[in-house]
Amino acid sequence: MLNTSMHDELVEVITNTLLILGALLPIVNPLGNAPIFLSLTRGSGSAARARLSRSIAINGFVLLVASAFIGTYILGFFGISLPVVQVGGGLVVISTGWTLLKQEDDDEAEPATATESDEHLSKRAFYPLTLPLTVGPGSISVAITVGANRPADPHVGWPFLVAELAGPFLIGLSIYLCYRYAESIARAAGVTAMSVIMRLSSFILLCIGVQILWNGASTLIKSLH
């Protein structure tokens, strides 16, 4: 009987983890963001990108877990609704996508020194490389929604709590792997293909921002009635 109960709980953990992973991974989309990551870290060495990939993965994991566990409380404390977060975040994503879309293909720009490059990149590890590029308002909104649906009883809901940690951990791992080996992916694809992918990724990012903005704005408009 005990083994059956443990088996059922393990199945529930795996099921919830896969559900959270399936909800977040298409929005985070680390593979699709890899060309943008390369563009924003242009002129940096492999070692610097490896450290930055690790920092972004950790930041992304912490952001998703914090959003799932305390996101609703933070929004409630400041009196901010989720649609307002979507509108504000959508504007940031639109701005980022538009900037990247207008960016010229200039591979000759190099930083003055490697040290300056590392310092400059470390300052941008959280913004804009983690937020909003990697873990943006869309994924944060999903994480908050997931946390809001958590069972109130911890004895009953502990498999869901484990899944809320396991899901973001797997997301963080995928972010690290995709960004860490983005250079290898770029070399395999070629310069022309990566330039095309970069433009498409920037346009998709711009569209995602518009969609996030519209989701929040439409909810706010409906609330007026």
pTM above threshold 0.95: no
Identify whether the C-beta of residue 117 lies closer than 8 Å to the C-beta of residue 43: yes
pLDDT tens sequence for the chain (225 residues): 556 777 788 999 999 999 899 889 888 989 889 988 988 888 788 899 999 999 999 999 999 999 999 998 998 899 988 888 888 888 888 887 888 788 776 544 444 344 445 666 677 899 889 998 899 888 998 899 888 878 777 666 788 899 999 999 999 999 999 999 999 988 888 878 877 887 887 888 788 888 888 988 999 999 987
Burial class (CB in 10 A: 0-12, 13-18, 19+), 225: exposed
| pLDDT confidence of residue 30 | 92
| pLDDT confidence of residue 116 | 45
Contacts of 209 (CB under 8 A, 6+ apart): 90, 91, 92, 93, 94, 95, 96, 97
